[in-house]
């Protein structure tokens, strides 16, 4: 049993197109129903689940009667638009059998690169999870500016894992996991039960084709996704999606699939990712009381503790928190713009809506989006 997967309470589960469409023959409704039942059981155990789903283009091609995958971008986008309807209908029907509501969310990588849209997506997903809804996420293929690739949803799943601070990323595939060589060519290929995400050797093994047939995404995108997920401290499990109770076996901590562990504990890795990826856009001068709770208690920063606002930054950008003496205490993502911060500074959180006309978060900077300097 691996304690890491056994104790994980927030999962991102990604299912690939070859599984969903039964290798292109149409949506496998019985398999999707089985996943819905397993996710319902996970929720009964107190585990929150976000589902990242491929398959829109493949399902759209079937509905349109196209036997060959088109090359023109507008045709790929049209297929995705048609196929997305089938995916949504099937997921909603399957989860309704368990009295579970679902929500469709279409994202692009740009949505998660832009800090304001990043926070919007994060807030929406956290709210849906708190409401007991299962979000179903897919790449917004119909508006993508670059050509659609089947492997992209592995990367998207890893970015969603970072976004919601999930403990575990489960990549369900049509193979049992990863081998050090191609088992079709070498019967002595060794199955990899466990490794460290980001290990360069794993990329070399995946790039050499040591994975069997995994659809168009391939094992390399999954290994790279594991490295991305590890930035926020999440483990990644690559497992066989057609097994009837695969998610329950993962929950029980059984030795299934290939488990890729992050090199550091969750909090340390996520804080380093936050601090290393972004550039400071402004400064918030905080009073002595706020400085003390930031340093000693690791608390969130409330507007009432802010004395001055410097710079012109937008919601979701990285801002430094400094003491009255000008010494940096922490840095993190702000929930309000510079102009809004000036309006609410020195004010209690229950005044935010009155002053701004809306309220997003009671904190000016949440501790989950902050790293001490």
The end-to-end CA distance of the chain, in Å, is: 37
Site of tokens 């900077």:
365
What confidence tier does 280 reach under pLDDT thresholds 50, 70, 90? confident
Q: Answer whether CATH 2.30.130.10 is correct for domain 278-372.
A: yes
Q: Which residues contact 204 (CB under 8 A, 6 or more apart)?
A: none
Lowest mean pLDDT among 76-80, 101-105, 276-280, 315-319: 276-280
- For the stretch 217-239, pLDDT in tens is 588 889 999 998 998 889 999 99
Give residue 319's pLDDT: 93
Q: For residues 100 and 132, is the Cβ–Cβ distance under 8 A?
A: yes
- For the stretch 67-85, pLDDT in tens is 888 888 889 889 989 999 9
Taking the domains of the chain in order of start, what are their residue ranges?
3-270, 278-372
Mean pLDDT taken over the chain: 87
Q: Where is pLDDT greater, at 367 or 141?
A: 367
Give residue 208's pLDDT: 52
Task: Please provide residue 285's backbone torsions phi and psi, each rounded to the nearest 5 degrees.
Answer: -85, 125
What percentage of residues in the chain have a pLDDT greater than 70?
A: 86
What percentage of residues in the chain have a pLDDT greater than 90?
A: 55
| Residue 246 reports pLDDT greater than 90 | yes
- For the stretch 325-350, pLDDT in tens is 999 999 988 999 999 999 999 999 99
Q: How far apart are CA 286 and CA 320, in angstroms?
A: 10
Give residue 1's pLDDT: 47
Q: For residues 172 and 13, is the Cβ–Cβ distance under 8 A?
A: yes
Average the pLDDT over 131-138 and give the result: 96
Q: What is residue 365's DSSP assignment?
A: B
- For the stretch 8-25, pLDDT in tens is 799 999 998 888 887 767
Site of tokens 């708190």:
130
Give residue 2's pLDDT: 65
Give residue 369's pLDDT: 86
Q: Supply 215's token pair.
A: 């659809």
Q: How far apart are CA 119 and CA 233, in angstroms?
A: 19
| Residue 264 reports pLDDT greater than 80 | no
Q: For residues 180 and 190, is the Cβ–Cβ distance under 8 A?
A: yes
- For the stretch 299-310, pLDDT in tens is 999 999 999 999
| Residue 152 reports pLDDT greater than 70 | no
Lowest mean pLDDT among 40-44, 115-119, 168-172, 245-249: 115-119
Q: Residue length, the chain? A: 373
Give residue 225's pLDDT: 92
Q: How far apart are CA 317 and CA 334, in angstroms?
A: 6
Q: For residues 364 and 287, is the Cβ–Cβ distance under 8 A?
A: no
**Backbone torsion region of residue 99, taken as left when φ is above 0, otherwise alpha when ψ lies between -120 and 50, otherwise beta:** left
Q: Supply 288's token pair.
A: 């002595």
> Which helix (H) or strand (E) segment is 162 a member of?
helix 152-164
- Which class in CATH covers the domain with range 3-270? alpha beta
């Amino acid at each position: 049993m691996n304690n890491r997967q056994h104790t994980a309470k927030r999962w991102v589960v990604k299912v690939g197109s070859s599984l969903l469409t039964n290798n292109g023959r149409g949506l496998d409704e019985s398999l999707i129903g089985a996943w819905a039942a397993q996710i319902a059981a996970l929720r009964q155990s107190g585990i929150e689940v976000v589902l990242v789903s491929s398959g829109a283009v493949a399902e759209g091609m079937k509905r349109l009667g196209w036997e060959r995958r088109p090359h023109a971008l507008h045709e790929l986008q049209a297929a995705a638009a048609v196929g997305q309807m089938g995916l949504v209908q099937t997921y909603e029907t399957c989860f309704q059998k368990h009295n579970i509501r679902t929500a469709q969310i279409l994202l692009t990588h740009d949505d998660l690169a832009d800090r304001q849209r990043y926070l919007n997506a994060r807030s929406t997903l956290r709210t849906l999870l708190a409401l007991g809804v299962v979000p179903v996420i897919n790449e917004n293929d119909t508006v993508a500016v670059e050509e659609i690739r089947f492997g992209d949803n592995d990367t998207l799943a890893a970015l969603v894992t970072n976004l919601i601070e999930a403990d575990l990323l489960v990549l369900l595939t049509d193979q049992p996991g990863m081998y050090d060589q191609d088992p079709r060519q070498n019967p002595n290929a060794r199955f990899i039960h466990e490794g460290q995400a980001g290990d360069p050797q794993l990329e070399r093994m995946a790039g050499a084709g040591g994975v069997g047939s995994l659809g168009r995404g391939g094992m390399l995108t999954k290994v790279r996704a594991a490295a991305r997920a590890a930035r926020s401290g999440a483990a990644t499990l690559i497992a066989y999606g057609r097994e009837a109770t695969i998610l329950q076996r993962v929950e029980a901590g059984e030795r299934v699939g290939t488990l890729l562990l992050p090199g550091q504990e969750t909090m340390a890795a996520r804080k380093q990712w936050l601090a290393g990826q972004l550039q400071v856009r402004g400064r918030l001068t905080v009073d002595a009381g706020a400085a003390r709770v930031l340093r000693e208690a690791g608390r969130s920063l409330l507007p009432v503790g802010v004395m001055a606002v410097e710079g012109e930054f937008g919601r979701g950008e990285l801002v430094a928190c400094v003491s009255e003496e000008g010494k940096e205490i922490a840095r993190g993502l702000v929930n309000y713009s510079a102009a809004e911060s000036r309006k609410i500074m020195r004010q209690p959180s229950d005044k935010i809506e009155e002053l701004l006309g809306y309220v997003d978060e009671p904190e000016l900077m949440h501790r989950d989006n902050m790293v001490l300097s």
